[in-house]
Amino acid sequence: MRSKVDKTIWTGRTDHEFNRASFRYHQIIELEESTQADTACALIGFVCEEGVRRNKGRLGAAAGPDALRAELAKLPWRMNEGKRLLDLGNVICDGERLEEAQRNLGDAVADALSNNSIPIVLGGGHETAYGHYLGVRKFIGSEATLGIINIDAHFDLRSYDEQPSSGTMFKQILEHDDKSDYLVLGIQRFGNTQELFDTADQLGVTYVQEEDMTNKSMEDTLLTIKTFIADHDYVMLTLCTDVLNAAFAPGVSAPSPFGLDPFMVRTIIRAVTSKKNALSFDISEVNPLVDENNRTVKLGAYVVNEAITTFLGRK
């Protein structure tokens, strides 16, 4: 099911009504259906946490899309005139109908790409990534190679024999799409069973563990990313916010005392979204219901801002 976003979410301080140099997001957002737009990002909300429920995580991520919008609305808009931001509304999961919702999200992503917009998907549980993938694959066709870059503490390579969840998406993709490859950054050694590490090796997953991602090793991580991107026709980027240290992001579905700091995540996002063959971005598992003083939601909005400004700033 699709719905338009509540216009009252896009409000905030107004420093000047006409001077664009003083504008904030709420003053430039375009609440409309997808249109041809060569220099635009398009927000798509995925109001869903059925995958998290199936995966026995903490519920509340369905409130993430609108919470992220409310924080984005307040941020300064620093892009030149002609750069646009559309809000295409929400894809809503009806009850337990996760698979249908993911297909609907895929259609919304493909439509945005077909209209020359760059999709920015606001989840929702990390099952968001599978719908995101469906849309990208639909747009690029079956023969193009796709690199999927996931910033995440978890592989999300669990079995889906019984049913898909927020922990199965990448296994679903890799077992049915031999033109897609998977790079995951931030894997926690004790956040994944040995079976999941074995599955990753069997499926040819490239991964970098969280404990190996330090400021000193950042150049090595960026080289891994650069090489992976160069090996594929197209790239999509997904972020599960549980990759962040819980000190920075307590409001997630599966918090961890270890994890990456926001500066490293920002660096990765900039590195990926600056590439011409990077098509899209999603953020998942921001959970306002268990957040502390809106810290995680605000951090999530800043991360989304980094993706938008880097995408739109590409030459």
With 0.85 as the threshold, say if the pTM is over it.
yes
Structural domain range at position 125: 2-313
- Give the three-class secondary structure for 290: helix
Q: Using CA atoms, how far apart are residues 30 and 77, in angstroms rounded to an integer?
A: 13
pLDDT > 80? residue 38:
no
pLDDT digits (tens, 9 = 90+) for 257-279: 899 999 999 999 999 999 999 99
pLDDT digits (tens, 9 = 90+) for 184-238: 999 999 999 999 999 999 999 999 999 999 888 999 999 999 999 999 999 999 9
| Structural domains in the chain (count) | 1
pLDDT digits (tens, 9 = 90+) for 280-307: 999 999 999 999 999 999 999 999 999 9
In the prediction, which pLDDT does 110 show?
Answer: 98
Residue 118 vs residues 207, 232, 310: alpha-carbon distances, Å:
26, 18, 11
In the prediction, which pLDDT does 131 show?
Answer: 98
174: domain CATH number is 3.40.800.10
pLDDT confidence bin for 95, thresholds 50/70/90:
very high
Q: Using CA atoms, how far apart are residues 252 and 314, in angstroms rounded to an integer?
A: 31
pLDDT > 70? residue 130:
yes
pLDDT > 90? residue 253:
no
